[in-house]
Amino acid sequence: MLDIVARSQRGRVCEYSRGEVSVTTPFMIGTDGPVSVRVTDGGRVMDFFGTEVPLESGLLTTASSGMASDPVVVGGVQVVRLPVPEDLVVDESAEVVVVPNAYELRKDPRRIVDTVVRLREACGFGRLLCMHGIGEPSIVALLAYMGVDVFDDSLPRAAGLEHVMLMPEAEVYMAEGDVVGANIGNMEAELEKVRMFVRADRLRELADQRSFSSPSNVALLRLYDQNAYAYAEETCSTVGCRFSCNSTQALRRPDLKRYRDRMRDYRKPEHKRILLLLPCSAKKPYHISKTHRAFASAIHTAQHDTLVHEVIVTSPLGMVPRELDACYPANSYDIPVTGEWKCEERAMIRQMVGDLIAQGYDKVICHLGEDYELVEGLADMECTVVGDPTSPKSLENLDKALRVAAKGMETVDYLVDRNNLARGLLEFQFGREIADLLMDENTYAIGKFPYWKFIREDPEDRKRKTQIGMMTPERGMVSLTLEGAEILAAAGYATVEIMDFELKGNLFAVGVQKADPRIRIGDEAVIVCDGEVRGVGVAEMCGREMTDLRRGIAVKVRHKVKK
């Protein structure tokens, strides 16, 4: 029986049990315990909760042989020897897939990425993936991040016999001491650390740190980000906790790439005529920081502020329009601030800001100070910073520049401004098509950012008003009511189909028949039965995981239809 108790992108902590005995993944198979490996005259045998599973049988093919062998299934364990068959199908009875010769992939990052992704996709979400001979302290965080659940102790033991100490940071030759015991201890400690980082939903940060232990690990993470983006992004939450981007590789996190991809389709609010480029702040969301409150004191001095489009220039996101600064990941990242910008950061920022400027503004004002070089030459712009961006003189210049720029322009009503900004938020969260349905001519936003409520009037009776959703900074997204959920269900978007039963609490995976594969953890999920909306809430699994699993909460229900 498999229970997933914590997730961090593809990494996870699982409780796997048979009868009264259980193990917590990711874990290491040793020479004793409920799962162990021993060597017999016929080859290695894995004892799996009392079941003997031969790891070597028939022709022992190699990963580079090009000759696939037939998978063997024993007692719920399927043994798949490399190379992975092109048409691999995991037996329905299998709860665990074991690769006995994964050592052959060691130090070959391209093949590791290809093999792990193919195996994990074949396994689905409801099975454990075990790879023998490849796990050691410097790489288990990366492999767990990619989706491997179980390792063994053969590599730490073999390296120890050669007096090679395996640590999370490096491999070191040791002339004396119990190197085998030290390697096993280092492996156990690292796996405990992996479990801790998964529970904190920060496994990517540990993977970033461990990638620097060897050139092959650096290549592994780079190739994974580059070649397996779709696979990795599927399990990235659309909400999250605070995280750090301390390296160039962190810029390529799948959740950050997803944000930048969405921003390619970003449309500036149509009424905004003055683009104001602002620096980021250490405190997130930006709008609650002292720095941005100081900026607000110079921006919101008269009704011309509705013409001003505030856009924060930052790495690793490139740019963040003000209406999105409470959304993930803009509300959660940390990055070292030294005044130095990497080439990749410069190129990213210039491309994104340049594309935004190309949408058309009457005036561009730069309040970036020393970081003006990031956008220099993209447009004719006025710089307003003298020394520090929050100095009295800088704020005075900003106020004056905005007033001069807006002179002669027709001001825009605050209600129109709020509606356009709120629509941009919906478009970022749901996409343009769904935003059009949610924010039609009968819908408007009320409240002060970031506490927006979305109200729809009955076109035949304007006094009849219905709330369809609300944004709060705690979530950083729009949470729908049942009436809002009806709109998504009619469009067939983000729906989770269930069997015919009454929802009395959260929706568990066992009750899911089919789920929209576009659903990500943290998304709005609309629960339907035979086309009828039964509830709405926040997805606790991605869409495919809801369909694969039979245990665990699929949707944390906010509103449900009462019968």
What's the rounded Cα separation, in Å, for the pair 365 and 402?
Answer: 8
**Tens digit of pLDDT for each residue in 124-164?**
999 999 999 999 999 999 999 999 999 999 999 999 999 99
Q: Are 18 and 132 in contact (CB under 8 A)?
A: no
The answer on 120 and 183 residing in a single domain is yes
The answer on 290 and 278 residing in a single domain is yes
pLDDT at 332: 95
What's the rounded Cα separation, in Å, for the pair 343 and 248?
Answer: 10
| Residue at 247 is within a domain | no
| Residue at 238 is within a domain | no
Cα separations in angstroms, 76 against 95, 154, 283:
5, 23, 50
**Is the pLDDT reported for residue 532 higher than 90?**
yes
Task: Compute and round to an integer the Cα radius of gyration of the chain.
Answer: 27
pLDDT at 488: 96
pLDDT at 66: 75
Q: How many CB atoms lie within 10 A of CB 454?
A: 27
**Tens digit of pLDDT for each residue in 156-178?**
999 999 999 999 999 999 988 89
pLDDT at 42: 84
**Is the pLDDT reported for residue 80 higher than 80?**
yes
Q: Assign 549 a pLDDT band (cuts: 50, 70, 90).
A: very high
| Residue at 144 is within a domain | yes
pLDDT at 465: 95
Report the CATH number that the domain containing residue 504 is assigned in CATH: 2.30.130.10
pLDDT at 563: 73
What's the rounded Cα separation, in Å, for the pair 323 and 335?
Answer: 21
Which residues, 6+ apart, have CB-to-CB distance to 325 below 8 Å? Answer: 284, 285, 286, 287, 312, 331
Average pLDDT for the chain? 95
**Is the pLDDT reported for residue 21 higher than 70?**
yes
pLDDT at 59: 67
| Residue at 240 is within a domain | no
- Would the CA dihedral through 106, 107, 110, 116 be positive or negative? positive
How many structural domains does the chain have?
Answer: 3
Q: Are 201 and 186 in contact (CB under 8 A)?
A: no
The whole domain housing 463 covers 415-560
**Is the pLDDT reported for residue 106 higher than 90?**
yes
| Residue at 462 is within a domain | yes
pLDDT at 27: 96
Residues 512-538, buried b or exposed e (16+ Cβ, 10 A)?
beebbeebbbbbbbbbbbeeebbbbbb
The answer on 445 and 357 residing in a single domain is no
Share of the chain above pLDDT 70, in %: 100
- Would the CA dihedral through 447, 453, 459, 465 be positive or negative? negative
**Is the pLDDT reported for residue 239 higher than 70?**
yes
Residue 437, classified by CB atoms within 10 Å of its CB into exposed (0-12), middle (13-18) or buried (19+), is: middle
| Residue at 377 is within a domain | yes
Higher pLDDT, 388 or 66: 388
| Residue at 245 is within a domain | no
The answer on 280 and 213 residing in a single domain is no
